[in-house]
Amino acid sequence: MAYEYAIALTGGIATGKSTVASLLALNGMRVIDADSISHKILDNSKEWVRETFGDAYITNNKVDRAKLGSYIFSNADAKKELESYLHPKIKAEIERQSEKQDTFKFPYLIDIPLFFENGNYPIKDSVVVYTPAEIQLERFMKRNGYSREESLKRIASQLPIDAKKEKATWVIDNSKNLKHLQDEVENFVATIKQIYKK
């Protein structure tokens, strides 16, 4: 039985989830990262990408993630096809890692970007990295260099961050600076340790 001690770590695009995942790891929490698993699987699926979407999405014998990303964000059928190919493989790998983590009988986090959207994982507790929507947009544009319109389109492909905040068991607030974020993470870790008396 996987996911017994799992806590889903989620948030929105550019709310700082990767930073929080690193800070949690520094604070001694174990984190399974769905994104890096999906990158690995996508890289290993080069031939499938070539057959399905064409040579244009392979650069230097590797999947051109940026190019493929732009294409699938503007093409719902392609997005669906890619997801139905990748998701079962990602899920199987997360499940395998989760079963291993459960043997420690202590909470660990699974970093799942679309946890609420897809409802693919039977995980009871979740923590959301929260940033107000306008700061999220600003950070995303700055980070990715996209136009406001393209940024809004990508952010709109996810459940609004305020809706995620409502659904979460815990919230880590990332609306201020790094020092504030570190305090938020430390408080969260202390809460988990308190619950499990470790």
pLDDT of residue 157 exceeding 90, the answer is: no
* pLDDT for the residue numbered 198: 59
Region 44-58: mean pLDDT is 96
**126 to 10, 36, 51, 123, 190: CA distances (angstroms):** 7, 19, 37, 8, 16
How confident is the model over 80-132, as pLDDT tens digits?
Answer: 999 999 989 999 999 999 999 999 999 999 999 889 998 889 999 999 999 99
How does residue 74 score in pLDDT terms, banded at 50, 70 and 90?
A: confident
Is the pLDDT at 161 greater than 90, yes or no?
A: yes
Q: Is the pTM of this model over 0.75?
A: yes
Quickly list DSSP for the chain: ---TTEEEEEE-TTSSHHHHHHHHHHTT--EEEHHHHHHHHHHTTHHHHHHHH-GGGEETTEE-HHHHHHHHHT-HHHHHHHHHHHHHHHHHHHHHHHHHHHTT-S-EEEE-TTHHHH--S---EEEEEE--HHHHHHHHHHHH---HHHHHHHHHTS--HHHHHHH-SEEEE-SS-HHHHHHHHHHHHHHHHHHHT-
| Closest to 123 measured CA to CA, from 32, 19, 198 | 32
| pLDDT, mean of residues 194-198 | 81
By the 8 A CB rule, do 46 and 62 touch? Answer: yes
Tokens, residue 158: 């996810």
Mean pLDDT for all residues in the chain: 94
